[in-house]
Every structure is written in structure tokens, then in C-alpha cells.
């Protein structure tokens, strides 16, 4: 099932707006509703006012009516197995469980699977949820 997320993330990466870093990234989420939501990084000349691919995909998921990430794929054109940055890890954890699978990809597909707990151990948590 992760292959369709890889394809969706790779497709999303084509929409990245990365004229400053030249570092396109794509992300794809499968939400609890079964739908796939995608995002790409969108930079802004006024750093750090741009945003990463992962929160772009999360925004699409929320606006699509879903609230929970079941699994997620991330791909970067210039860095195989590029993990989400620290800020994105916390953003993902807001909508994921400790067991949510995060797929790190290269141009050939999913190459590493991590859980949210492995990606962000000892995450900041509340009793909400």
C-alpha cells in the first residue's frame, strides 16, 4: 500500500515552489478516511516564511475533512530518504499516533519505514485527542 503514497508524494514534489533552496520535497498522507492528501514545499523570499511539504499535506487533509494520519510518505529530489525536519515531526505527531508509519523514499520508491515514535521519541504530548 505504501507504493501509492510514494507515487503521490513524487507527483506532489513536481509542484514544489523551491526557487531559493532548489530542494523540492513532496509528501503524501493516507488519512483515516482512506483518501490520500498531498503537499509540496512552498518557499518565500522572506525566509523562513515558506512552509514544508508535510504541513502542506496536513493542511490539505484537514481542509478535506480528515483528522488522523494513518501513514505518510516523504520524498526529496536531492536527498534520498530525507526525513521530516524537527518542526514537521511535531506537526505530524499532532495528527498521528506513535505507531503511524512514515515512509522515507528515494527515486525508486519506499526505502525505509519508521514509526512516529522512532521519528520523534519523547514527543511533546497533551491529553487531547
Q: Catalogue the active-site residues.
A: 54
The residue to which cell 526525513 is assigned: 83
52 is in an annotated binding site: yes
88 is in an annotated binding site: yes
Transcribe 5-73 into DSSP letters: HHHHHHHHHTT-B-TTT---EEEEEEETTS-EEEEE-B--SSTT-SB-HHHHHHHHHHHTT---EEEEE
Measured CA distances, 112 to 5, 78, 90, 96, 119 (Å) = 13, 16, 20, 18, 12
85 is in an annotated binding site: yes
Mark the binding-site residues for Zn(2+), compressed into ranges. Answer: 52, 85, 88
Amino acid at each position: 500500500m505504501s507504493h501509492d503514497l510514494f507515487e503521490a508524494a513524487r507527483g506532489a514534489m513536481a509542484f514544489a515552489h523551491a526557487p531559493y533552496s532548489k530542494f523540492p520535497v513532496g509528501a503524501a498522507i493516507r488519512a483515516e478516511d482512506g483518501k490520500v492528501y498531498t503537499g509540496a514545499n512552498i518557499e518565500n523570499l522572506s525566509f523562513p516564511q515558506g512552509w514544508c511539504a508535510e504541513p502542506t499535506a496536513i493542511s490539505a487533509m484537514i481542509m478535506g475533512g480528515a483528522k488522523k494520519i494513518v501513514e505518510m510518505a516523504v520524498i526529496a529530489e536531492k536527498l534520498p530518504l530525507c526525513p521530516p525536519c524537527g518542526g514537521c515531526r511535531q506537526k505530524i505527531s499532532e495528527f498521528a499516533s506513535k505507531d503511524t508509519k512514515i515512509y522515507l523514499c528515494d527515486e525508486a520508491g519506499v526505502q525505509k519505514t519508521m514509526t512516529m515514535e522512532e521519528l520523534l521519541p519523547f514527543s511533546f504530548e497533551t491529553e487531547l485527542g
